[in-house]
Amino acid sequence: MDRIQSLEMRGISKSFQDVKANREINLTVSSGEILGLLGENGAGKTTLVNILYGLYHPDDGQILINGEPVRLRSPKDSMRAGIGMIHQHFMLVEKHTVLENIALGYAEAPFLFPQRSLRGRIRELSAQYGLDVDPDKPIWELSAGEQQRVEIIKALSRNADLLIMDEPTSVLTPQETDELFDILRKMTSGGHSVILISHKLEEIMDICNRVMVLRKGQVTGEARIEEVDKGKLAVMMIGRQIAAAYPKTDIDPGDAVLEITGLDVDSDRGLPAVRGLSLVVRRNEILGIAGVSGNGQQELVETITGLRQPLSGSVMMKGVPLDHADARKAHTLGITHVPEERIKYGIVPNLLLYENSVLKRHRDEPFSNWIQMNYAVIKDHAGKLVDGFNVDAPSINIRVKNLSGGNIQKLILGREISGGPDLLIAAHPTYGLDVGATEYVRKQIIELRDKGGAVLLVSEDLDELFMVCDRIAVMFEGRFMGQVTPDSCTIEEIGLMMAGSTLQEA
């Protein structure tokens, strides 16, 4: 097929039972263009690009490439047509090398594919677009940015002219994000096109030529980047302006709530995850933990919440030792937890909303007297959570699995805050949420801090950490590279520490 000079999605509609995910959407993208795709959770972005990649079939509408109608029945059809997709979670086999991963999926069986030819193609693409990777390195040894380059090479080696990228910067340091944007600019200058899905308005403004905004399955706005600003995009996306800042009460931190000294923890594979780590979190304080995923943050959180046994070191909660894996004791001492994997660990999907509203507290008064549950009190509590934390649910009797991701997160946050915790541990609390839900969650965390709570906030979103935190500690390979206040350093300096530089070197 000829190179893609233009692609058009015309009148695309798609429903799932009674839910209309896409309603007569028109989208165009031309050679050399980066189109930003914005929208809240459930706006229809994923459905639309999945149709373009052949994963879903539209109920109505058609797709045209270079003015000619095409039928994309599968991802293989889309790849043959010159469309590639790089998912938010990379589709790579960790134990295989870069070369082996790129060979997988070719029409020829990988063991028959001429490795010399493929190796040459990798070198050619690497040199052309600045995609520096070692073909013989196993994937597990690569950083997130390097793994993303492998995905780009994999798509380009299959002659993709149009790349769909879903939240491509979510696991990157600021420096890796800059490198990615340089790569995308080189690609588009050579005639490639990109559809970029992102919830970060600033990134859309930085890298895209045009932006299209979806809300409730329909297009609510489309413009060239020079015609809009972040405020206008937010109004298109959620129907109102978002807060420019998150005001916090000017208050000195209080007594230490959590004290960790010389903590050593291993990962599930028996490898060092946390090494010699010490920290203090005080009342009226939000301590942010920055770092690329996989640098010990998960093991640190699991140790504090009583889910993982430390090798050595001291964890003290209000002066009481938490040196053994005991989640019940951690809860009793006033620790609550908003987990990173909210569906897997934060809720029981098949239980009703009101049942999920008292998880971990279902044996406590007034919800139970240890003999039977007090369902009237539980339902009243659930109703107050729904109202107080702006959970959009038709009823407290709905199964939680039927709520959107943003509303599930609001429910979990409300449940964990409503008990008046001494320490809230929030792991990536706004990850994957739309702008409106993100704004709400951040305000609730700040409100808890202002009321005397202590917060440990783990996030890869540096803008978020700078907006809400009083102090920021940067983790790399299980150690702190430095602890700073948001007004004493720059995002670029934090990014360097995330990549392994010390505070002095940054």
The reported pLDDT for the residue numbered 372 is 85
Q: What is the pLDDT of residues 258-270, one digit of tens each?
A: 999 999 999 887 8
Across 40-67, average pLDDT: 90
pLDDT at 305 over 60: yes
The reported pLDDT for the residue numbered 74 is 93
Binned at pLDDT 50, 70 and 90, residue 422 comes out as: very high
CA dist 311 → 156, 267, 320, 321 (Å): 45, 11, 18, 14
329-335's contacts with Cβ under 8 Å and 24+ in sequence apart are 330/304, 330/305, 330/306, 331/306, 331/360, 333/422, 334/257, 334/421, 334/422, 334/423, 335/304, 335/305, 335/306, 335/421, 335/422, 335/423, 335/425
What domains sit in the chain, N to C, each tagged with a CATH number? 1-82+160-224 (3.40.50.300), 94-158 (no CATH), 256-498 (3.40.50.300)
pLDDT at 209 over 80: yes
CA dist 307 → 122, 266, 324, 355 (Å): 43, 13, 9, 23
Across 215-219, average pLDDT: 88
Binned at pLDDT 50, 70 and 90, residue 394 comes out as: confident
The reported pLDDT for the residue numbered 246 is 67
The reported pLDDT for the residue numbered 109 is 47
Name residue 274's beta-bridge partners.
265
Across 310-339, average pLDDT: 90
CA distance linking residue 404 with residue 392, whole number of Å:
9
CA 221 to chain CA centroid, nearest Å:
24
pTM of the model: 0.68
pLDDT at 247 over 80: no
The reported pLDDT for the residue numbered 170 is 75
Alpha-carbon dihedral angle through residues 289, 294, 299, 304, given to the nearest 10 degrees: 10
Q: What is the pLDDT of residues 93-108, one digit of tens each?
A: 989 999 999 988 665 5
The reported pLDDT for the residue numbered 119 is 87
Of 2-6, 39-43, 384-388, minimum mean pLDDT range: 39-43
The reported pLDDT for the residue numbered 333 is 92
Binned at pLDDT 50, 70 and 90, residue 241 comes out as: low
Indicate the DSSP class of residue 498.
H
Q: What is the pLDDT of residues 149-190, one digit of tens each?
A: 999 999 999 899 999 998 888 777 788 889 999 999 999 999
Amino acid 19 reads V
The reported pLDDT for the residue numbered 240 is 60
Percent of the chain with pLDDT over 90: 53
More confident call, 175 vs 317: 317
What strands, in cross-sheet order, belong to the sheet with 68-70? Answer: 19-30, 6-16, 60-65, 68-70
The reported pLDDT for the residue numbered 176 is 86
Binned at pLDDT 50, 70 and 90, residue 244 comes out as: low
pLDDT at 242 over 80: no
Across 299-325, average pLDDT: 92
The reported pLDDT for the residue numbered 243 is 57
**By CB neighbour count within 10 A (0-12 exposed, 13-18 middle, 19+ buried), where does 458 fall?**
buried
Highest mean pLDDT among 105-109, 471-475, 500-504: 471-475
Across 104-122, average pLDDT: 68
353-356's contacts with Cβ under 8 Å and 24+ in sequence apart are 353/382, 353/386, 353/391, 353/393, 353/395, 353/396, 353/397, 353/398, 353/399, 353/400, 353/403, 353/411, 354/378, 354/379, 354/381, 354/382, 354/383, 354/396, 354/397, 356/400, 356/411, 356/415
Binned at pLDDT 50, 70 and 90, residue 402 comes out as: confident
The reported pLDDT for the residue numbered 479 is 94
Percent of the chain with pLDDT over 70: 94
The reported pLDDT for the residue numbered 271 is 83
CA distance linking residue 149 with residue 146, whole number of Å:
5
Across 53-78, average pLDDT: 94
More confident call, 506 vs 75: 75
Per-chain mean pLDDT for the chain:
88
pLDDT at 1 over 60: no
Of 209-218, 282-291, 386-395, 496-505, minimum mean pLDDT range: 496-505
Of 118-122, 277-281, 286-290, minimum mean pLDDT range: 118-122
- Closest to 410 measured CA to CA, from 353, 367, 366: 353
Strands (E), 152-240: 162-166, 193-197, 210-215, 218-224
